[in-house]
Chain A
């Protein structure tokens, strides 16, 4: 039957004598897994939105692939001895896409907007800044409530993106319909769920490093179709290739595959004390959670579900992260240990566990493998599959025992931990509370040196490995696939696509 239909369509094409259109090398076409939300750095929340910003909106600072903070619009910065003021020198000669000059006043206006706009999602990220002082055309001082080791990493993401103060004042909350930043490409056009088009900004301060006239972002949700578009030459690059499509992409000479371990994690979050449902054996006894963790073979999970393309994990950071606590390597599976922990906790014959899981292919596959592994230790997992928005509100309301959920990850280690394990943490859906943990996590926020912070996080991880309100399973690998004519692409653990020094060579 498909043959007949194929023959018919071929006949049709032949009849109209159509020719394939040439690919425009200078317009880079990038396929995204989903459509971005509102294009206002202060309001937006999607991962794909950040990929668009990477080409459109410069930030005060950027990161290296090794997560070091490097200059972008701020050229240098110093922190006062007491840690309560950061003085930044700003890049000169930078203009926004509308011609507004970039200077210290612009930075002050941006920080004020992030902190005060009703719709701003950046408020908590910049909470530590109490005021700004413009001390020169290109010098600004950020006054802080107290030392904040996490701030620079926030400024390397949306909170540090500079939008044109003129355009922002005019458009208010509607800024996202026609965003004006200072990045390498300026906003040209958006058709919801179809495309976002950016054109090269000729007055960009680093214009020499940009080799494309325009970039078009196309949301193509189906992974097979994304790859088919790349193979047919309709697009030049795609993000988040499915692990199951890796073999097909690798087999194609015209396609290059690159990857980087993400900053985030996937795992199972337990309800420890969030409402009545927290009062259950799994919430009350950490030995049960430890038993589950021992029952899981993380390497096998990665092989079975992701063909080995992801990274097995047992901590909030991947083992490649400088913050990973090397004293707790990914444990081998230990069924006996799991069984003895269950027995110790008073369940020698095993017990049931209900886990809610998002109703899409990958999380379900992961949990089915975990289910099978846990069953061998006597843990009978029931999976309740829920649509994501529902899962999230049930989790937030405490209407769950355990939840398969992940975190996209932050550059600073604080972002993967503080809000999940401290008593007042905003997304501590476990309602986990431990005085020692609070103390260590808060200290790590304000500690001055990297060594000091590392020691504190090591301590916190040790506590987490014992308590396991989150049982970590694996870390996603960002996988990009692109046309082999594209040269100079560097994978970053934040999953962004940076186009500086990327070229097209036929």
Chain B
């Protein structure tokens, strides 16, 4: 299995290189001169020139790219053009925030999505199934920003139960940190729960009609055992892949939710960086999230091994 994972990892390296080249190239295609944004309202030509020199924006693009790669390999992703903070430091600040949000949202998504999916598959065609489907569909269709603002107005302004927005690090105040993250992760989680519920449902329906499930039932096994132990375990493979990919997406940043709840995570960082043409920050984040995605894929592959003994022979 180790050899398999290692092979998958090596294959990922060219992917990362290609992604970094694409990001670099795409940024150059963006209209708008980063320095006009940086120089301030006055746009003093002297200042513009000094900044252009400093950030090596006069160099040919391949030279700029190679310089960036050289530094990146040594762990230096440059500094933010906007705040002068090192990009690695900015990301180290944001990563725990984003991961906390992703994990909490995933918990909401899994806790709601999977049981609902199983239930609606088992009760296929009944009122329960329809209700679950309608709930799922609403979860998908209600825009995050609307649900977010509604929750803030109700829970924070009207009932004053939770902080309206912001972020408190876990290390600073555990309880407050969880409280602040509850609403945003709920908003994100419900949308994901809907996707998970739909996939769990279809995967379960497929498995439940398989011969071995009928055999299990014929053996007189309790329905609970049949569903959870025999059917669900086999239905799980596509759900694991989906969960891993959804988690990867969450780490890439939940832009709207972060904006509404003012959570200083990756999504907000990258969006602001794009608007400010803060090239170093955009490159750094895309690189790190691309690597994150690849790792989540590897993780999903590893999970197949655990779930499906038949794969272990390969």
Contact = CB atoms under 8 A, between A and B. Distances in A.
Interface string B195-211: 00000000000000000
Interface string A389-416: 1111110100000000001100000000
Interface stretch (A10-18, A58-66, A89-97, A332-340): A10-18
A20 B275 contact: no
B238 interface: no
Contacts of B39: 45, 121
Nearest to A35: B272
B161 A177 contact: no
A75 to B, nearest CB: 29
Interface in B29-74: 31-34, 36-47, 50-51, 53-54
Contacts, number: 181
A8 B193 CA distance: 14
Contacts of B261: 225
B40 A45 contact: yes
Interface of B: 31-34, 36-47, 50-51, 53-54, 80, 82-85, 90, 93-94, 135, 138, 142, 147, 149-157, 159-167, 175-176, 178-179, 182-183, 186, 190, 259-262, 264, 268-269, 272, 275-277
B277 A389 contact: yes
B47 A407 contact: no
20 contacts: A5-B186, A9-B182, A9-B183, A12-B182, A13-B162, A18-B162, A20-B161, A45-B39, A118-B54, A119-B54, A193-B269, A194-B262, A225-B165, A228-B156, A229-B164, A234-B163, A389-B31, A389-B276, A392-B36, A394-B31
Interface in A1-35: 1-2, 4-6, 8-10, 12-13, 16, 18, 20-21, 35
Contacts of B179: 18
B306 to A, nearest CB: 30
Nearest to A427: B43
A234 B165 contact: yes
B180 to A, nearest CB: 10
Contact of B36 (A12, A38, A231, A396): A396
Interface of A: 1-2, 4-6, 8-10, 12-13, 16, 18, 20-21, 35, 37-40, 43-45, 118-121, 123-125, 173-174, 176-177, 191-194, 218-222, 224-225, 228-229, 231-234, 387-394, 396, 407-408, 419, 426-427
Contacts of A219: 262
A90 B261 CA distance: 46
Nearest to A14: B161
A82 B216 CA distance: 104
B130 to A, nearest CB: 15
A476 B163 CA distance: 31
A35 B80 CA distance: 14
A53 B153 CA distance: 32
A390 B82 contact: no
Contact of B182 (A6, A13, A123): A13
A419 B261 CA distance: 40
Contacts of A37: 82-83
B269 A13 contact: no
A45 B42 CA distance: 9
A192 B90 contact: yes
Nearest to A21: B176
A229, A232, A427 — which one has the most chain B CB atoms within 10 A of its CB?
Answer: A232
